[in-house]
Every structure is written in structure tokens, then in C-alpha cells.
């Protein structure tokens, strides 16, 4: 069976190759298991040197890798460049995080010393997403490898070319044979991989898939499970009594939060909560005016803010979700325009008013924003927390007291003030609560799930210990 990936903007074939089935996955895991002991014993300095060579190769090939990401995902080139830069930065960030969170330390004791070491788990399976096909799996792979684990990586079936390029770069960086391997394919390939002999599953993807993995691994407690999932993320925009804040500035923060990467970020704002009354009306009008004017283009045309979704199928699904909300009573404020036809992957921003309507608590992974009006800040926070997810949340307000309250009451792992909900730093943890994860945040905290602590009491000599009640 052959796997193909295509440019979502024009259908051009970007990559094609063989689908790896259960037998190939089994062989990859066997090679990984055989390579694991030697890589774990490799001195940390040598492992770090390989990771740094990988980062240097990425830097040397930044433009080529960014163009490949843009071609395969449809992302704007400025967005793809940002992704490659994040991949490069991840190397030194992971090295620093490993030293801080998973290093070695010792303390003198009367008998000798106590020592804390961190040991690799062994064979890690990494399943990557399509929206950041380099950066997000890279955030698992780099810390896993420097911790001494071996990795078998399955990219998204939508973005196999980026995954294949990453594998080439790791080989070029000097990883020993078997330490990093790639298998290509869709759901069946992923299922065969995670059903095999693994010590950890590092996954970035949908909440639905996360639920499947939680159940599947309930009886496999020896497998470390790190889930980075989606969100139905709230953004509250709340002026003070004087109606502070330029509506256009508020609109820019909202539209960056909701529509960057064509809404295909797990941290995108999905729900905008505004006050009832004139101040909220002014903000909403500015959001709609700006959203309607957001430029949509293919990456190699005139520079745009949004590109196509990952596929025409994804765009059709998103437009269907908008239609379903509209049919359930939501007021369509900005239509999900199809600038290049209903059968293309291109889709404009969609905004719906859903105040007082029961809507599904789910992530629409597309440029779709639902607006809720609230009579008080109490009601706004209650609406924001009315979700089973808990990934990101944001507040746009000048009042510092509102921010202090919001930061203490909102349930989310990434909580921003007067910045887009998508703002996150690789040097900090990234993850969420509830259906957004399993309390194993990634980014800098990936060091925590890539190694386990081993505490030791150590004495250089064998000495007799007194045994109470035993005559000597």
C-alpha cells in the first residue's frame, strides 16, 4: 500500500512511500529494543552533542525545511519559519531542562552519600500531529533522546514528508543505528506501534484519541503515557467601567487567538466571552470587521494571515460544524466563506453568537469562533470554565484586579493576559487539565516524563550494622 501526501492548496503530490504495517512496526521495535542499552549507557555529553548537531543541521537547512512544512500543511511561510526556529531552540531548552529537572545530585551522609539519578524508560513511541509536524513531535523526541531513550516515530499520515526529513537529519547528526526510527502510515500503523513492546507513548493530537489511549493503557501501567490534547479554549475580553481599550487592539488579540494557523492550533481561542451592552458591542464589531478582512492565500502567493486547512475534507467538516451550530439556533455573524469553492481546503473565518444556546463542548479545529455574552465578570468566568477541557485561556482587560482573579479561578494550563491564547514558551510547561491532557505537560517539563528518578544510598565500604537484641 502506498501513502501519499499532497499540498492542500493545489493537490500537488509532495511525498509518497510505502505504508508500514504490523510486521514493519514489530521489526522497528525490535531494533529499538536492541539499540536501547548501548544508547542509555552512552555518556550524556555524547548524547547532547548529537542533539546539538541535529539543531545545527536544522539551522543550516531552515529555509528548505520551512518550505517543506508550508507545502505539506498549507501554512504560511512566516508561520513555517517560526516552527523551524522553535525546533532549533528546543535543543538547548531541552538540555537546560534536563539538567534542571532530571539531572544528577548527591549529598554526603555519615555512611557515604545519597545520590539522585534519572534513568531512561527505554523504547518510546512518538505519534505526531499534522498542524506542527516538526515542532510538536520534536518536543517529545529531543528530550527523550537526550535522556537516553530510543524512539520510534510515526508522523501524521497527512505530513509524512516532514517526518521523513526529520529522520534524515537525525541520521546525519550521527545517531547510532536503531536509536531513532520512523514508521509511516495512518491509524492502523499507529495502532500496531502502540500495541507493541514499548515503554512510553508520547502523543500530541485530539482528545478523542487521548480517551482511546487512556482506556487502552489502563492495564499497562509500566508504559509512561504523556498526552498533549486539544481544547475548547475561552478568551474573555472585558473593559473597565470607563470602556478602556481600543476595540481594534482588542480585535487583533482576538483574531490572533482564534484564527492564526487557520485555527489549527490546540491553543486557539474557540469561545470569545464579551460583556453585554455597548462596550461589548464595540469590541464585537471590531472583531468582525477585522476577521472579515483577514487575508487568505496559499503560502507561495501573496503573503497572507491564513492558508488552507490541512485538507478539503477538514474544511468540509468545519463548514459542517458551523452549519450544525447555525441550525441549533446560533446566529451566524461571519460566514465560513469558501473563497476557492466548497470543494477546496480554503476557508475564511467564521464567527457565531451562541449566547443562551446549548452547544457541544468540543474542539472545532478550524477558524471558527463562538461568541458568548455575559452580564457580569462572575458569569464570564463561569462560562469560561464551563468545559471539560483545560488547555489555554486568556483575559483581555486593563484592570489588574480582574487579571488576578482570572488567573486564580480559571482552570487551564496556559493562562495569558492581554496576549493571544496561543502564546506559549518552550522554556515553560505546556499542557492542560481534563480532556486536554493527563497531567504530564510538555515543553520544558517533557524532561519529567522522559526519565524516572532513582534514589540511592551508597557506601564505599562494607560495614557491619548493629542489630538490636542480638548478642555480639
Contacts of residue 204, defined as CB under 8 A and 6 or more positions apart, other chains included, come to: 127, 128, 129, 136, 137, 139, 140, 228, 229, 266, 442
Residue corresponding to grid cell 492542500: 8
Q: Select which of 157, 228, 353, 363 is catalytic.
A: 228
Between the alpha carbon of residue 35 and those of residues 146, 194, 198, the distances in Å are 14, 18, 13
Cell of 352: 457565531
Nearest to 406 by CA among 417, 392, 420, 419: 417
Q: Residue 448 — left, alpha, or beta (φ > 0 → left; ψ -120 to 50 → alpha)?
A: alpha
Query: What are the b/e assignments for 226-238, b being 16+ CB within 10 Å?
Result: bbbbbbbbbbbbb
Where is 286: in which H helix or E strand?
A: helix 278-292
Q: If you write DSSP's letter for every residue of 383-398 in order, what string do you get?
A: HHT-SSEESEEEEE-S
Where is 416: in which H helix or E strand?
A: strand 414-417
Contacts of residue 202, defined as CB under 8 A and 6 or more positions apart, other chains included, come to: 124, 125, 126, 127, 140, 144, 226, 449
What residues pair up with 269 in beta bridges, in sequence order? Answer: 233
Contact between residue 225 and residue 199 where contact means Cβ atoms under 8 Å apart: no
Nearest to 293 by CA among 232, 339, 341, 326: 339
First to last CA, the chain: 76
Contacts of residue 331, defined as CB under 8 A and 6 or more positions apart, other chains included, come to: 352, 353, 354
Q: Select which of 25, 266, 268, 450 is catalytic.
A: 266
Q: In the annotation, is 228 catalytic? A: yes
343: exposed, middle or buried (Cβ count in 10 Å: 0-12, 13-18, 19+): exposed
Q: In the annotation, is 24 catalytic? A: no
302: exposed, middle or buried (Cβ count in 10 Å: 0-12, 13-18, 19+): exposed
Cα(273)–Cα(284) distance, integer angstroms:
10
Show which residues are catalytic: 228, 266
Amino acid at each position: 500500500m502506498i501513502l501519499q501526501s499532497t499540498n492542500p492548496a493545489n493537490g500537488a503530490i509532495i511525498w509518497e512511500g510505502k505504508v508500514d504495517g504490523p510486521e514493519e512496526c514489530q521489526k522497528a521495535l525490535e531494533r529499538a529494543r536492541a539499540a536501547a542499552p548501548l544508547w542509555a549507557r552512552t555518556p550524556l555529553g555524547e548524547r547532547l552533542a548529537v542533539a546539538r548537531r541535529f539543531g545545527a543541521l536544522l539551522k543550516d537547512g531552515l529555509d528548505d525545511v520551512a518550505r517543506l512544512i508550508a507545502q505539506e500543511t498549507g501554512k504560511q511561510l512566516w508561520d513555517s519559519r517560526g516552527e523551524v526556529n522553535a525546533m532549533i531552540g528546543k535543543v538547548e531548552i531541552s538540555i537546560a531542562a534536563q539538567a534542571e529537572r532530571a539531572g544528577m545530585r548527591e549529598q554526603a551522609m555519615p555512611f557515604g552519600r545519597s545520590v539522585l539519578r534519572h534513568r531512561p524508560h527505554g523504547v518510546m513511541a512518538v505519534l505526531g500531529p499534522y498542524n506542527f509536524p516538526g515542532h510538536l513531535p520534536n518536543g517529545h523526541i529531543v528530550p527523550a533522546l537526550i535522556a537516553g531513550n530510543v524512539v520510534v516515530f510515526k508522523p501524521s499520515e497527512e505530513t509524512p514528508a516532514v517526518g521523513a526529513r526529520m529522520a534524515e537529519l537525525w541520521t546525519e547528526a550521527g545517531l547510532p543505528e536503531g536509536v531513532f526510527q520512523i514508521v509511516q502510515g495512518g491509524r492502523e500503523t499507529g495502532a500496531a506501534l502502540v500495541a507493541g513492546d514499548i515503554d512510553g507513548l508520547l502523543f500530541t493530537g485530539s482528545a478523542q484519541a487521548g480517551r482511546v489511549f487512556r482506556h487502552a493503557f489502563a492495564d499497562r501501567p509500566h508504559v509512561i503515557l504523556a498526552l498533549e490534547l486539544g481544547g475548547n479554549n475561552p478568551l474573555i475580553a472585558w473593559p473597565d467601567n470607563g470602556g478602556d481599550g481600543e476595540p481594534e487592539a482588542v480585535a487583533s488579540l482576538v483574531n490572533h487567538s482564534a484564527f492564526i494557523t487557520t485555527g489549527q492550533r490546540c491553543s486557539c481561542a474557540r469561545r470569545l466571552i464579551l460583556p453585554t451592552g455597548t462596550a461589548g458591542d464595540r469590541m464585537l464589531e471590531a472583531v468582525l470587521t477585522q476577521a472579515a478582512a483577514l487575508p487568505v492565500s496559499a503560502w507561495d502567493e501573496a503573503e497572507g494571515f491564513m492558508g488552507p486547512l490541512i485538507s478539503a475534507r477538514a474544511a468540509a467538516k468545519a463548514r459542517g460544524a458551523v452549519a450544525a451550530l447555525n441550525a441549533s439556533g446560533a446566529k451566524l455573524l461571519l460566514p465560513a466563506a469558501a473563497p476557492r469553492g466548497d470543494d477546496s481546503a480554503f476557508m475564511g473565518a467564521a464567527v457565531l453568537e451562541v449566547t443562551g444556546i446549548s452547544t457541544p463542548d468540543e474542539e472545532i479545529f478550524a477558524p471558527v469562533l463562538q461568541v458568548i455574552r455575559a452580564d457580569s465578570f462572575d458569569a464570564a468566568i463561569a462560562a469560561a470554565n464551563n468545559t471539560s477541557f483545560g488547555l489555554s485561556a486568556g483575559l483581555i482587560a486593563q484592570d489588574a484586579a480582574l487579571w488576578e482573579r482570572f488567573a486564580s479561578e480559571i482552570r487551564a494550563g496556559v493562562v495569558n493576559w492581554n496576549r493571544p491564547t496561543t502564546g506559549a514558551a518552550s522554556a515553560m510547561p505546556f499542557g492542560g487539565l481534563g480532556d486536554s491532557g493527563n497531567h504530564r505537560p510538555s515543553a520544558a517539563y517533557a524532561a519529567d516524563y522522559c526519565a524516572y528518578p532513582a534514589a540511592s544510598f551508597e557506601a564505599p565500604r562494607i560495614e557491619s550494622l548493629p542489630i538490636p537484641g542480638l548478642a555480639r
